């Protein structure tokens, strides 16, 4: 009964337009009072929720992503992607997917990525004759795929709440993201043939070389992240510091278009976002406490009992729930409220923790871009000037491609585990 009242309070606060993090906090506080539980749990949660070294990577990666976006690195990546695949029919559409993969490495924030890709790619897509519905679908689907490419804040948070290695999760994300990227590119190729989308440009090694030189600056970031993790010379927190330092050097010495005052503003915004994430982790532990004393994990284990003999079905079931959470509550609340409840059950079933986390990361990323409420999708539609109803029919094939990629990751665990296993990060 207490959890029902907590849910009602949370929904009421959301309907009053209160930010999700504060809605969760006040609903959790109400749950402690209504259930007669010790109020000291709140202060304990605030302390324990912030005591993790890996969380220090969040402000560094957010700052680096914001600074690199302000420098205009997205434009260099767009030009490189167009030079790389633009000579294929529908190549401009494919370049949206490719640049979404690259840009996720330096951005870390899905909303910032939608904003950057929308402003950079919507005009050339329109000029090339792509319908606004397809343009918005390409940006939304590509950004959803990018959730798996580090550095993603969601990956850091989910590693914290499941007590797994953020480094292993980062390394594991590259190949699954590439699998979904190939599914999306295959769809784009088929639609290009059917709708007669144009070739973006003739193949040119000169253009590719020039674009590659300019894109080399932002592409250093994934090399540093993946290379440093594989060689075992940096942790996730240290990687954040290295990338942030690199972003400052590049902004001041190469691009020279960001002032110290603007850097200070980006750092301030990064600190605000980090504070919100840490506070979210803290109040989420109250929910975990309430669900624990209310017997929710035991009840959920009984409900999922029929699936425990079939790991794939269990992963499909939890992925669907994660997508719904991602669509309704955004990504981080899904991580801190849902994942801690189902993760122990997955461990008991013998599911590899990294595989489980990769599946949930992909599912939440897709959920952020699901109609009718996915906040990422709504932002992409805002750039295109479309409503959900106008866009839905065109978006269905793109959702199918995303689901296909997710299904492959679930059915073939080695897609997620082969790379981290090869470097000794998982067994």
**Same domain, yes or no, for 30 and 78?**
no
Asked if residue 148 has pLDDT above 70, the reply is yes
Q: pLDDT confidence of 85, banded at 50, 70, 90?
A: confident
* Pair (7, 86) in one structural domain: no
Are both 8 and 72 inside the same structural domain? Answer: no
For residues 37 and 285, give the distance between their C-alpha atoms in angstroms, rounded to a whole number.
Answer: 14
Q: Helix 166-195 vs helix 236-250: angle between axes, to the nearest 10 degrees?
A: 60
Q: Do the beta carbons of residue 95 and residue 82 sit within 8 Å?
A: yes
Q: 99 and 9, same structural domain?
A: no
Same domain membership, residue 169 and residue 28: no
Let me know whether 100 and 241 are in one domain.
yes
Terminal-residue alpha carbon distance, the chain: 42
17 falls within a domain: yes
Give the model's confidence band at 296: pLDDT under 50 very low, under 70 low, under 90 confident, else very high: low
Does 105 lie in the same domain as 18? no
Q: Determine the pLDDT at residue 211.
A: 82
Whole-number percent of the chain with pLDDT over 70: 91
Cβ distance 140 to 394 under 8 Å? no
Would 42 be classed as within a structural domain? Answer: no
Cβ-contact 323, 364 below 8 angstroms: yes
Span 32-48, mean pLDDT? 74
pLDDT for 424: 82
Residue 199 bridge partners (DSSP): 89
In a domain, 44, yes or no: no
Domain assignment present for residue 47? The answer is no
Task: Specify whether 8 is located in the same domain as 63.
Answer: no
Residue 110, pLDDT score: 67
Same domain, 7 and 115: no
Within 10 A of 93 (CB to CB), how many other CB atoms are there?
Answer: 31
Q: With bands split at pLDDT 50, 70 and 90, how would you rate the model's confidence at 409? A: very high
Please provide residue 49's backbone torsions phi and psi, each rounded to the nearest 5 degrees.
-70, -15
User: What average pLDDT does range 277-281 have in this prediction?
Assistant: 75
Whether residues 6 and 110 share a domain: the answer is: no
For residue 238, what pLDDT is reported? 84
Domain that holds residue 204: 53-422
Q: Is residue 233 included in any domain, yes or no? A: yes
Residues 162 and 264 in one domain: yes
Write a three-state SS string for 19-47: CHHHHHHHHHHHHHHHHCCCCHHHHHHHH
What's the confidence (pLDDT) of residue 36?
A: 78
**Is the per-residue pLDDT at 20 higher than 80?**
no
Give the Cα separation of 333 and 339 in Å (integer).
9
Of 45, 355, 148, give the one whose Cα is nearest residue 37. Answer: 45
25 and 57 assigned to the same domain? no
Task: Count CB atoms within 10 A of the CB of residue 218.
Answer: 25
61 CB-near residues (< 8 Å, 6+ apart): 108, 151, 153, 156, 240, 243, 244
* Stretch 127-148: mean pLDDT: 88
Question: What pLDDT does residue 201 have?
Answer: 73
Q: Would the pTM of this model clear 0.75, i.e. be above it? A: yes
Helices within 49-165 (DSSP H only)? 57-71, 73-85, 91-107, 110-127, 132-145, 153-162
Structural domains of the chain, count: 2
Contacts of 28 (CB under 8 A, 6+ apart): 6, 42, 283, 286, 287, 290
pLDDT tier for residue 50 given thresholds of 50, 70 and 90: low
* Rounded Cα–Cα distance for residues 151 and 107 (Å): 7
Backbone angles phi, psi at 90, to 5 degrees: 75, 15
Is 22 inside a domain boundary?
yes
Upper half-sphere CA count for residue 2 (Cβ side, 13 Å): 20
Domain membership of residue 274 (yes or no) is yes
């Amino acid at each position: 009964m207490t959890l029902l009242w907590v849910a009602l309070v949370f929904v009421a606060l959301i309907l009053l337009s209160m930010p999700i993090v504060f809605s969760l906090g006040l609903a959790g506080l109400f749950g402690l009072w209504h259930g007669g539980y010790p109020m000291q749990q709140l202060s304990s949660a605030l302390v324990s929720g912030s005591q993790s070294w890996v969380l220090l990577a969040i402000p560094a990666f957010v700052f680096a992503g914001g600074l690199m976006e302000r420098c205009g690195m997205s434009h260099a990546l767009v030009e490189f992607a167009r030079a790389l695949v633009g000579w294929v029919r529908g190549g401009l559409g494919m370049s949206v997917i490719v640049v979404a993969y690259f840009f996720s490495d330096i951005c870390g924030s899905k909303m910032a990525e939608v904003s950057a890709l929308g402003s950079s790619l919507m005009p050339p897509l329109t000029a090339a004759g792509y319908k606004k519905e397809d343009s918005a679908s390409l940006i939304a689907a590509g950004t959803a795929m990018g959730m798996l490419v580090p550095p993603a804040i969601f990956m850091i948070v989910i590693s914290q709440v499941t007590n797994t290695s953020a480094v292993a999760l980062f390394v594991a994300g590259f190949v699954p993201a590439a699998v979904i990227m190939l599914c999306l590119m295959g769809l784009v190729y088929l639609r290009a043939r059917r709708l007669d989308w144009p070739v973006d440009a003739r193949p040119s090694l000169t253009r590719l070389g020039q674009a590659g030189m300019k894109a080399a600056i932002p592409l250093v970031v994934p090399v540093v992240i993946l290379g440093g993790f594989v060689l075992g010379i940096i942790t996730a927190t240290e990687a954040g510091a290295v990338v942030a330092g690199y972003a400052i050097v590049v902004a001041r010495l190469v691009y020279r278009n960001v002032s110290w005052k603007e850097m200070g503003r980006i750092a301030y915004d990064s600190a605000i976002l980090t504070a919100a994430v840490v506070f979210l982790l803290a109040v989420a532990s109250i929910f975990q406490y309430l669900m624990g004393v209310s017997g929710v994990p035991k009840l959920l284990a009984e409900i999922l009992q029929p699936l425990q003999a079939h790991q794939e079905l269990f992963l499909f079931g939890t992925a669907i729930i994660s997508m719904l959470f991602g669509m309704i509550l955004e990504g981080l609340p899904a991580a801190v409220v849902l994942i801690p409840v189902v993760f122990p059950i997955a461990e008991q079933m013998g599911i590899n923790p990294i595989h489980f986390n990769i599946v949930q990361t992909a599912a939440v990323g897709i959920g952020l871009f699901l109609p009718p409420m996915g906040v990422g999708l709504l932002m992409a539609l805002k750039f295109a000037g479309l409503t959900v109803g106008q866009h839905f029919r065109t978006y269905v094939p793109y959702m199918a491609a995303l689901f296909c990629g997710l299904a492959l990751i679930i059915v073939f665990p080695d897609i997620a585990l082969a790379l981290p296993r090869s470097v000794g990060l998982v067994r």
